[in-house]
Amino acid sequence: MSRQAHRPASRDCPILGRLCAISVLPWQRVAAYLQLFGPLHLAILASILAAAIALSRWARSSSGAGRRIRLALGVFLLVNEAVWWIYHIRHEGFRFPGGLPLQLCDFALWLTILALLTLNRWAYEVAYYAGLAGAAMAVLTPDLWAPVYSYPSLYFFLEHGGAIAAVLTLTWGNLARPQPGSVWRALLILNAYAAAVGGFNALFGANYMYLCRKPASASLLDYLGPWPVYLLAAEALGIALFWLLWLPFRNGRGRGEPKSSVTKDRNPDLPCTE
């Protein structure tokens, strides 16, 4: 099922590229809903960054503050997703096989929620790489299929912006950080997920993650060659993006050691599971 009528199309994401497939719309069409990099768009981007900075500073103030913030963020994203699905089903109903939350952004969002609630290492690392790479591109080039002052558009920015702020809060707040080998662990998990979703596509004739064909509208995938070449090109692009996200933490650099890390750690009161 197409969720474009009530749901932003950029929620429908390819897997192997490690990033949301953001439709590249003509400037006039984007401007009809949200002026790309206009005052409102820039204010939204600035608010996401400001929220991440403020929450990170608060989280670093004490281990108790960090725990409260990450749990509150996890509950917020969970409730936001539940409200969206109630709205979505009431307006469009439930359709199979196309109406399932199997896109990359869905997967990254749920792993972000899991990382916030449990500090699970693997969930955090996949959320860090896939979530930041995909959600950042989504908010930078939003493909809104509803007026900007509508609930679907509000949900779009709460979902993607909230995921970005949450992952950055975990990282900058010294609650978690990518560990050596995390790029390859994240790639392994995402490729395994891609294989599972590809099997579902083949069995039910779906096209989750655009693994079987490109989206009908213009997208970044149009620049990566025909099927299946664009899948391999997107994979290579994803690896490059992941390594860029890893660079700040090479050789122990970054914002210091996490206080309650995904590395099994110093504060036994904070859950951390492998």
The answer to whether residue 54 is domain-embedded is yes
The answer to whether residue 223 is domain-embedded is yes
For residue 121, with 0-12 CB atoms within 10 Å meaning exposed, 13-18 middle and 19 or more buried, which class applies? buried
The answer to whether residue 222 is domain-embedded is yes
pLDDT mean over 214-231: 81
The answer to whether residue 269 is domain-embedded is no
250 pLDDT band, cuts 50/70/90, is confident
Structure confidence at residue 266 (pLDDT): 37
Q: Which residues contact 56 (CB under 8 A, 6 or more apart)?
A: 168, 169, 171, 172, 173
218 pLDDT band, cuts 50/70/90, is low
The answer to whether residue 81 is domain-embedded is yes
The answer to whether residue 266 is domain-embedded is no
The answer to whether residue 75 is domain-embedded is yes
**pLDDT > 70? residue 12:** no
The answer to whether residue 168 is domain-embedded is yes
- The pLDDT tens digits of the residues spanning 225-246 come to 898 999 999 999 999 999 999 9
Domain span including residue 220: 9-252
- How far is the C-alpha of 124 from the C-alpha of 131, rounded, in Å? 9
Structure confidence at residue 133 (pLDDT): 86
Q: What's the number of domains the chain is made of?
A: 1
